[in-house]
Chains A and B, each alone.
Chain A
Amino acid sequence: MFRHMLGKTLGLLGYTIQYGCIAHCAFEYIGEFVVCSGPSMEPTIVNHDVVFSERMSRHLFKIEKGDIVIAKSPFDPQMNICKRVIGLEGDKICTSSPSDLFKTHTYVPMGHVWLEGDNLRNSTDSRNYGPIPYALIRGRVCWKLWPLHSFGTLSESPTKRIIKAQTDSDSD
């Protein structure tokens, strides 16, 4: 009787470990569901939205300008932030606000990214704490799941902060 119970418990433990490991691999390498809170990404993502963020682009280093990413907060590794990538390493970022007379620029250092929220008035982002290392990025938000009336892919940046790379015009 005791042996039977022990066998069953060990079997259950084995299954728990196996499915726990499969779940860990799915969340780490495929994607995860994220509940967003806060006003810093309005109108693209509002409070209490549920989004799906995929992990593969981060592991394959294929995050691009204009992607919305989930990253670890640089001041608290147990909190996450959701912002848009405005600049990758080497890009020129305009740090002065539109009302300033003199425009100031900065370049994003190697291995770092510049993040900004879509709601520029109500967002603490790289304009406050500077560029963050690429390694803090967890995943790229690709689908909005809730609320159902805005189900689907997310829209482009409403702010005109992304400077597209200018193609060189060669004179023949």
Chain B
Amino acid sequence: MRLKDGYHMAQQTSAGRRYVQTFISGFFVAVPVTVTILDKLAYVARVEGASMQPFLNPDAGAQSDVVLLNRWSVRNYQVQRGDIVSVVSPRNPKQKIIKRVIGLEGDFIRTLSYKNRYVRVPDGHLWIEGDHRGHSLDSNCFGPTPAEDMALVTAIR
């Protein structure tokens, strides 16, 4: 009887240890791969705010829209005028803002409410504006921005 218990216990500990080993090795594969996919390829997020109406969040009271943020397509910093991008806010590095690209580097912009009437976008910078004029914290407030952590935005309803 005692021998049999010892045998069963040995089986259980080796099965338990194998489980832990499989779990750890799976963990070290799954976590870096997932983090790399989210950093380099694309991820999904919910958006809030009214600065891109009527494209995003057209109804104020309803559920906020869900968007796909595509990092892979802007990996070489190639954006076109008119694309909607998500960048880190120059006012608050903990927040991301979604705006439309109006001007690329070298463009001359006639601004709506910036301190200068005409602005040349410097190298490496972008001029971004929200679709909902007047309700948007964008380049009309903080000027051209060296867009950091860019992702191309497409809406998923």
Contact residues of A between 6 and 60, Cβ < 8 Å to B: 17-18, 20-22, 24-25, 28-29
Question: Any chain B CB within 8 A of the CB of A77?
Answer: yes
User: Which residues of chain B come closer than 8 Å to A20, judged between CB atoms?
Assistant: 36
The number of residues on chain B lying at the interface, defined by a beta carbon within 8 Å of a beta carbon of chain A, is 25
Q: Does A135 contact B (CB under 8 A)?
A: yes
Number of inter-chain CB pairs below 8 Å:
68
What residues of A have a CB within 8 angstroms of the CB of B122 in the complex? 74-75
- Return B104 CB to nearest CB of chain A, in Å: 13
- Assuming the contacts A18-B32, A24-B32, A136-B148, asked whether A73 and B90 have C-beta atoms less than 8 A apart, the reply is no
Query: A72 CA to B88 CA in the complex, in Å?
Result: 14
Q: Is the CB of B77 within 8 A of A18?
A: no
Q: Is A143 part of the binding interface, using a Cβ–Cβ cutoff of 8 Å?
A: no
A132 touches B91 (CB 8 A): no
- Beyond the given A61-B94, A74-B124, please list 14 additional residue pairs across the A-B interface where CB-CB is below 8 A: A21-B32, A21-B33, A21-B35, A24-B32, A25-B31, A25-B32, A29-B35, A72-B148, A78-B77, A109-B91, A111-B89, A132-B146, A133-B145, A135-B149
Report yes or no: B32 in contact with A22, Cβ–Cβ below 8 A. yes
Chain A contacts for B94, CB-based, 8 A: 61
User: Would B93 and A134 count as touching, CB distance under 8 A?
Assistant: yes
Contact with B along A106-131 (1 / 0, CB 8 A): 00011110000000000000000000
Nearest CB in chain B to that of A25: its residue: B32
A residues 60-96 with Cβ under 8 Å of B? 61, 72-78
Q: Is the CB of B146 within 8 A of A77?
A: yes
B145 lies within 8 A of A73 (CB):
no
- Contact partner of B91 among A22, A75, A110, CB < 8 A? A110
Complex-state Cα separation, A136 to B123, whole angstroms: 15
Closest chain B CB from A143 CB (angstroms):
24
CA distance A75 to B32 in the complex (A): 31
* Closest partner residue, chain A, to B29 (CB atom): A18
Given A133-B146, A136-B146, A28-B39 contact (CB < 8 Å): yes
Neighbouring A residues of B149 by C-beta, 8 Å: 135
Q: Whose C-beta in chain B lies nearest to the C-beta of A78? A: B77
**What residues of chain A lie closer than 8 Å to B32, measured between beta carbons?**
18, 21-22, 24-25
Task: Point out the residues of chain B lying under 8 angstroms from A73, CB to CB.
Answer: 124
- Please judge, given known A-B contacts A21-B33, A133-B146, whether A74 and B90 are in contact too, CB under 8 Å: no
Complex: how many Å from CA A111 to CA B36?
27
- Per the bound structure, the CA–CA distance linking A72 and B145 in Å amounts to 13
